[in-house]
Amino acid sequence: MQQRILVIGSSNTDMVVKANKLPAPGETVIGGVFLMNPGGKGANQAVAAARLGADVTFVAKVGNDIFGKQAIQGFRQDKIRTEFVFADPKNPSGVALIGVDERGENSIMVAPGANGHLRPHEVIQALEAVPEARLLLLQLEIPLETVIATIEQGANQGLNIILNPAPAQPLPDEIYAHLFAITPNETETKLLTGMTVEAHDLDSLREAAAWFLAKGLKNVIITLGAKGAFLYNSDGGQLIAAPPVTATDTTAAGDVFNGALVVALSENKSLTEAVTFACKAASISVTRMGAQASVPTRKEVDSLSLMTPITPH
């Protein structure tokens, strides 16, 4: 029996330029290709979960402008429930300016706009209106006070809460015990724990993951890009590999990972199975340009072997 998923977070319009290299400070790089795509960590994760088969309600705030209206239209096309995507009459929709180099690495600047005005009472209203939901996924592109209020309300309702702590910022210790899982990457792990982790150093991964468990967390999933992810809980730790891949654009890989993770959990898969599924989905996404445009279909993920090389198409 699939569980209903709540995704709470940001919605942006991504303006992407792909060029041979990312500019250094004061440098202009000529010859890029321009793309404009729907994005934002919350929206990307909601779209990923919906396209992979989940029943998703998205809670966000957009501007009362063309970008916001296009975003809502896109969510509805993906069969995402949008009754709690609020339109802000005073602030514009969020925008991200993204540079992508020939290796697929990216550099991003975000103007949050309406995302910065999603208030705790609006999110609590949404949570109380969807009592049948069992899974809650959120990130840190909305105000921290709203994130904290969301986690507290979600815990009161007995939700399994997954926090993707991105973009990284310090978090209050008291929220950790309310989380079912946290999904930082290597950079976010260092900011939160003060510890440097590396995919080839399992001891560093265990030490950092144990820091989270000491705060009261149940499950830690440290994402490692092309190396996969490290899953750690009271049963121990394991490194879960990702399929070999030729990356074109890594912009939304973490978002696809998180959206896929909650889909698998909503289908009552084990954590190992869920992380494996998420690694496959993220690996496919980096072979394509764009954020939401890169999300794979369920059929693509289900048919992929961990040993299957993936090349851009």
Task: State the binding site.
Answer: 12-14, 40-44, 141, 185, 223-228, 249, 251, 254-255, 285, 288, 290, 294
Bridge partners of 88, per DSSP, are 63
> What single letter denotes the amino acid at residue 160?
N
Q: Among 313, 174, 185, which Cα is nearest to 258's?
A: 185
User: What DSSP letter does each residue of 103-158 carry, written as one string?
Assistant: TS-EEEEEE-GGGGG--HHHHHHHHHH-TT--EEEE-SSS-HHHHHHHHHHHHHTT
- Known binding positions for substrate: 12-14, 40-44, 141, 255
What's the chain's Rg over C-alpha atoms? 18
- Known binding positions for ATP: 185, 223-228, 254-255
* 255 in active site: yes
Q: Within 10 Å of residue 160's Cβ, how many Cβ atoms?
A: 21
Write the CB contacts of 43 (distance below 8 Å, at least 6 apart in sequence).
9, 10, 11, 12, 58, 60, 71, 75, 292
Q: Catalytic residue, from 78, 173, 201, 255: name it.
A: 255
Instruction: Give the chain's count of helices (H) and strands (E).
Output: 9, 13
What dihedral angle (degrees, nearest 10) is formed by the CA atoms of 255, 256, 259, 263? -160
- Known binding positions for K(+): 249, 251, 285, 288, 290, 294
Q: Among 229, 227, 228, 190, which Cα is nearest to 212's?
A: 190
> Could you give the 3-state DSSP secondary structure of residue 101?
coil
Positions marked active-site: 255
